[in-house]
Chains A and B, each alone.
Chain A
Amino acid sequence: MPLPRLIPCLDVAGGRVVKGVRFRGMRDIGDPVALGEAYSDAGADELVFLDVEATIAGRGTLVELVKHVAERLAIPFTVGGGVRSYADAEELLAAGADKVGVNSAALARPELLTELAEHLGSQAVVVAIDVEGGHVRSRAGTMETGRDAVGWAREAQERGAGEILLTSIDADGTRAGYDLELTAAVAGAVDVPVIASGGAGNAQHVADALGVAQAALLASILHEDPARLQSLRCELRELGVAVR
């Protein structure tokens, strides 16, 4: 198995990186281009960029901004938010993304995952799943879908998703630890890699998440001090986690 991955996440709204708690109360964090570069330099294994307003605003992803972020990166770059079609995905890859993340559009039309996988290969198709109380929510957490997390993860894999970005809305931004129960349930139900997201507050939380998932998404814990990523890697090694 490849090494467990640490993946900083840029939630972007209004052209700026923002971060809230449980998807609410978004605070301005900084410039996505500068932060992306800082994380790349600090040894991030990948970078995720989520345009958190795109679906709600009914528009596509911020392609120009994606281009600028990509120019500074020499690590894998996943972009999501507002991807509704293969044409949207192609536009993001052309802008410098390596993988595309889909969420609401796949819930509304699950065949989208198959269309993307047929063109891009599964390894470039990440399904983002936002979960509250075990239930999947769409449109940046604002809408109930009536689906349960494990069932949707399994279906998404069957339809072609090559990776699952699993966010616990309950844990998001709390820094109180990942939702390990949810993460373990999903990771146990699928064969594709799972990225745990929501709740990182310290190295032990991340180590725990990497015990059940293949990667850990990091946002609040890093944003005030991107160099924290380096110290986090050292702490994880001391905890026996073989990070890069």
Chain B
Amino acid sequence: MRVAICEYGAGNVRSVSLAFERLGAEVVPDVLGADLAVLPGVGSARAAMAGLRARGHDVALRERIADERPVLGICLGLQLALEESAEDGGVPGLGLVAGRAVRLDAGRVPRIGWAQVGDSDTYYFAHSYAAHTPAATAWSEGVVAEVRSGSFIGCQFHPEKSGAAGARYLEEVLCLCLV
């Protein structure tokens, strides 16, 4: 299984690469050609979008979605896949999925730590914005935790940092890519 991780200048690309390599995947640079393209998630929306465009990843990811080939967005990567983010005064997203990212308004922000998703496992979150989208498939404490739309899967939590539960999640995503 070949996995491409979109680098955009500020992501925790190495953390994500290590997680996939532990599962036996091969990390490759070719975003268009890989079996799975991953849009990782550390950064701020504006800087990340500029970085994606500068590297041509925006075009490649849209093309993958149009061809119904798998894309996984993690945390900010999920938010960037939406039509718009309210971060940094409003930033247009990739528009791979309907919806927008809005600032969290309850509890301490950033929301940082482990929280249960639905009635399944506990995963690690670190975010100040969250998706508002009709494509939500799982929630955590009222926050959209997972999104699925066509060949796009997005998770607000960080599976690459969620220990054994996170590894199982990534393994499931890899299995979906084989179907």
Mark the stretch among A17-25, A50-58, A101-109, A119-127 that contacts chain B: A119-127
| A interface bracket (residues with beta carbon within 8 Å of B) | 35 or more
Check if A74 sits within 8 Å of B164, measured CB to CB: yes
Interface code B19-44, partner A: CB below 8 Å = 1, 0 otherwise? 10010000000000000000000111
**A71→B111 CA distance, assembly (Å):** 26
Check if B112 sits within 8 Å of A2, measured CB to CB: yes
A95 nearest CB neighbor, chain B only:
B14
B contact residues around A120 at 8 Å (CB): 10, 42-44
Check if B47 sits within 8 Å of A123, measured CB to CB: no
Check if A45 sits within 8 Å of B114, measured CB to CB: yes
Check if B44 sits within 8 Å of A45, measured CB to CB: no
B contact residues around A119 at 8 Å (CB): 9-10, 43-44, 47
A3 at interface, CB cutoff 8 A:
yes
Check if A244 sits within 8 Å of B15, measured CB to CB: no
A72 nearest CB neighbor, chain B only:
B18
B149 at interface, CB cutoff 8 A:
no
B contact residues around A76 at 8 Å (CB): 124, 126, 158, 161
Check if B128 sits within 8 Å of A122, measured CB to CB: yes
Give residues 35-76 of B contacting A (CB, 8 Å): 42-44, 47, 76
Please provide the 7 A-B residue pairs with the shortest distance between their CB atoms, ordered closest to farther: A2-B113, A123-B110, A123-B126, A2-B115, A162-B110, A96-B14, A121-B44
